[in-house]
A and B are shown apart, each in its own frame.
Chain A
Amino acid sequence: MAVSQQKLKQPACKDGVSNYLWSDAPDETKWADCVHCGMCLESCPTYEQTGQEQHSPRGRVYLIKSVAEGKLTVNEEFMDPVFACLDCRACTTACPADVDVGGLIEEARGQVRQAIPLKGWKKSVNKLFLHGIFPHENRLQTLGGLLKFYQKSGMQTLVRKTKLIQIMPKHLVDMEAVMPNIHSSVKKKHRNGSVIKAKKESKREVAMLTGCVMDVMFSDVNESTINVLTHNGNDVHIPQNQTCCGALHVHAGDRDMGRKLAKQNILAFENDETVIVNAAGCGCMMKEYGELFKDEPEWREKAEALADKVEDISKFLYDTGYEKPTASLNKRITYHDACHLAHGQGVREEPRDLLLNIPGVEMVHMPNADRCCGSAGIYNITNPEMAGAVLESKMENVPDDVEMISMGNPGCMLQMAIGVKKHGRSQKIVHTVQLLDWAYQKESRG
């Protein structure tokens, strides 16, 4: 790739000792706020597991700073803590000085990926999903189709029964076991690009990000999102040239691909006033697009303009007002805060409010509800051991006596489903808008 040859010698540090050799290096102003107080330590799931300073937010910031100060180089030992971070942003919530640890980690990953290109199976996984599938709508649809065929044709049963499945790595087996039923893509369904009209009187028009994984694995959540939006007087526009948000690429250090996808989305949503997102990770990424364009002021401006328009579905409904359902669901529910909703976007109360306003819903408190579940994009594929340990801690906090666990992110939905399955629990994993949609549906059925 051309990128790896562009050794733009742009030291991040004023005195020129920095060992970051590429542009878009970790930003000094981000770590200058860290005074090493340690208030972040206990918020960090990887520190909880390892007890090791370099696997804590404070330690990671210190390492990132040490490279800029020329004390360390970008090597395998530096890579380990930087890539073991879940990017859950819990430290950003805990930090008294608002240090943007997540931003630093992502910038550092960009440097690592250029200095030490991926090898072996991690390279294959990254290449296959991040370059080969997620950014390409057709391939995503094909994958969805294949998965649907796999489920419907009896092949899934066959594979499971013949134990053929055991040739896959353990964590992929876990994931296969909880794969949701694949429905048809929402984006494809509304291919003609026309606007889906509000059910009653129209108050405004909003655009919707359909997402990549969401629209394949959880297109029923996308359906529910449309139903809930149109139920509340919103016309829904689904721009056809939108693409994957790029969060997974940026988490993986592939910032160039992240920028490419960001630009496509910036253009796709240019004429929309509000962009509704139902995946916490995507919403958070889109709100941070500006970070990707430090060296491209024009794009930065456009990115920031888009960021202002992006809104999580639960917050949007809460802020603009929504019709409280009258039909009763009679369910005991607990709520899991997706990291990129709670820590990334500060959305905590809005989804809970939505749930509490559904008649018959009894909310049961989950201790440490805003603790990461270990999904973290494709972290559970690339770091299965740590992701598994983090999931174990999460499951210990899920109350026994609930029927459903509600949340606002597809990655969490898969990971929590694995947790439920592993622990022999019976909880159904649902997206917050699905519950609201079901209540509306029940209402209309009378």
Chain B
Amino acid sequence: MKKKKLKTNDRHIHGLSQLLNDKQAILYHKEDLISYDCDGFTIHKSLPRAVVFPHSTEEVARIVKYCHDHALPFLARGAGTGLSGGAIPLNNEVIISLVKMKRLIDIDLDNRRAVVEPGYVNLKLTNQIIERGYYYAPDPSSQYCCTIGGNVAENAGGAHCLKYGVTTNHILGLELVLPNGEIVEIGGNGVLDEPGYDLLGLITGSEGTLGIVTKIIVRILKNPEGKQTVLAYFDDIEDGSQAVSDIISAGIVPAALEMMDKTAIEGVEAASFPVGHPKDIAAVLLIEVDGIAAGIDDQIEQILSVCRNRNVREVRAAKNEQERAAWWANRKTGFGAMGAISPDYLVQDGVIPRSKLPEVLRRINKISEEYGLRIANIFHAGDGNLHPLVLFDARIPGETEKALAAGSACLKVCADVGGTITGEHGVGIEKREEMRFVFTDEEIAAQTDIRSVFNTDNLLNAGKLFPSPSRCAEVKKEMKEKIIG
């Protein structure tokens, strides 16, 4: 923070500093860099070469061009809450932190859209417009602090994506700095189906491998007229899972349908936002319906009766907004809450067909027993997006590897039952090898070909999203052993 002369012999640090309007907006001391050696995924660590803090698209473009011209690996980072390691500088990258680009540029209620910079925090957008009757729908659990730029990179989901869709369904336009430093704009007219290829769809969820997003036009929605949340406790997790299927089969599309199992409940109740869930239940469901006020009560009645038919121990609607908020705070801080019962955790992000829920839970339970590690389950049950949280202690030699293998085995189960390996957290470093569960070598090669159209020299966020081709055969063998053995 103090004005200091740069104390380094690294000529590129001096070079990058010269490109910034604020010459101090660069970090390069080890002490300043160490907290950038990982993001929300803490298993892999690697120090960046430097961290720069641009304030404008032009600055981003200048930095990117410099990196491109000097063949320096680089990547973009938002709040660093990603759970798959997308912002970890595996190759000693220059990190371009976008947190200083955090302006809300425009709110256009007539056309129901807003323009934000990538460092703008997700929840802030809703907070800005809620009193005028609008909100931004994608609500990842980290929405208190994650950035919309990061959400675009990961195509983030959230509890309410069951009814409203994930980030890609809410992006109308992007400004992007390509890996050679060129600035381009995509979409932006607010037309949902523009002629030509769906480039917005390609960029959203590309995990920062195709370019750096510097401006985002998002769709905003009108607040639902009514909203109600139901809480249901089950003694048997299969009953809970069946209730999930029954609710959807009954033709109700809840805004959110969340489930936590016994271990997850132990975690959230031991942490900062307990709400008094009984410790001896097998599963809790959190079901929210919203829409036109007139239909809400009927839907709630239907949900209550579905739950009762499935041997629910206790089921009730929230008494008031305060109680509703408390239930959600308890659920949304669920991952962090694992800190209260375990020193480390690895969160997985599988997707399965809803009907397979009981079977998959049984198999995850078996994996937990096999590896001798506790696995808590928190998930968006409504859309079959599972988050098994493998609890471990990194200080015990070998336990990290065991946790990784157990996590991988969970994903294998998801892929086996016709699902896939990620619903919303991205592949990053974490699930690179598991991409092989769902894609053939040819399919992966086709995708890396697309990457090279944008990211020709692979200087931008290299080593993420896809398994490295050279290790192909070896990895396959290793994975096979890991899963069978």
Interface residues of A (CB under 8 A from B): 32-42, 50-54, 56, 58-59, 62-63, 66, 71-72, 75, 77-78, 80-81, 84, 93-99, 385-386
Contacts and interface: CB of A to CB of B under 8 A. Distances in A.
A71 B1 contact: no
Contact of A33 (B53, B144, B340): B340
Interface string B78-101: 011100000000000000010110
Interface string B19-42: 000000001011110111011101
Contacts of B51: 52-53
Interface centre among B35, B39, B144, B343 (most CB of A within 10 A): B35
Nearest to A66: B34
Contacts of B338: 35, 97
A257 B335 CA distance: 40
Nearest to A99: B339
A58 B35 contact: yes
12 contacts: A37-B81, A41-B145, A51-B100, A51-B119, A53-B36, A54-B34, A62-B34, A80-B1, A96-B271, A96-B334, A97-B336, A97-B337
A99 B142 CA distance: 17
B315 to A, nearest CB: 26
B164 interface: no
A37 B336 contact: yes
Contacts of B100: 51
A59 B144 CA distance: 17
B336 A95 contact: yes
Given A33-B340, A51-B53, A77-B29, A39 B333 contact: yes
Contact of A78 (B31, B36, B343, B344): B31
A54 B35 contact: yes
A37 B35 contact: no
A96 B272 contact: yes
Nearest to A39: B336
Interface centre among B36, B99, B335 (most CB of A within 10 A): B99
Interface string B157-178: 0000000000000000000000
B145 A42 contact: yes
B273 interface: yes
B146 interface: yes
A38 B271 contact: no
A110 B282 CA distance: 46
Contacts of A38: 39-40, 79-81, 142, 145-146
Contacts of A56: 35
Nearest to B82: A38
B60 to A, nearest CB: 14
A376 to B, nearest CB: 16
Interface in B322-376: 333-340, 343-345
A97 B35 contact: no
A45 B119 CA distance: 16
Contacts of A41: 79, 81, 145
Contacts of B403: none
Contacts of A386: 1
Contacts of B213: none
Interface of B: 1, 27, 29-32, 34-36, 38-40, 42, 51, 53, 79-81, 97, 99-100, 102, 119, 121, 142, 144-146, 271-273, 333-340, 343-345
A71 B337 contact: no
A36 B1 contact: no
A137 B260 CA distance: 57
Contacts of B337: 96-97
Contacts of B273: 96
Nearest to B41: A36
Given A63-B31, A72-B31, A35 B145 contact: no
A38 B87 CA distance: 14
A261 to B, nearest CB: 31
Given A37-B142, A38-B145, A63-B35, A97 B272 contact: yes
B128 to A, nearest CB: 11
B272 A95 contact: yes
B133 to A, nearest CB: 18
B339 A39 contact: no
Nearest to A40: B145
Given A51-B53, A54-B32, A39 B144 contact: yes
B325 to A, nearest CB: 15
Contacts of B334: 96
Contacts of B119: 51
Contacts of A51: 53, 97, 99-100, 102, 119
Contacts of B272: 93, 95-98
Closest CB pairs A-B (n = 3): A97-B339, A96-B336, A96-B333
Contacts of A71: 34
Contact of B40 (A37, A77, A99, A385): A37
A392 B145 CA distance: 21
B333 A42 contact: no
Contacts of A95: 272, 336
A35 B144 contact: no
Nearest to A13: B395
A292 B466 CA distance: 51
A63 B34 contact: yes
B29 A39 contact: no
A103 to B, nearest CB: 15
A216 to B, nearest CB: 32
A99 B144 CA distance: 17
Nearest to A50: B1
Given A42-B144, A96-B271, A96-B273, A36 B34 contact: no
A32 B142 CA distance: 21
B140 to A, nearest CB: 11
A97 B271 contact: yes
A35 B272 CA distance: 14
Nearest to A92: B272
Contacts of A35: 42, 335-336, 338-339, 344-345
A84 B2 CA distance: 11
A62 B42 CA distance: 11
A50 B272 CA distance: 27
Contact of A39 (B36, B102, B142): B142
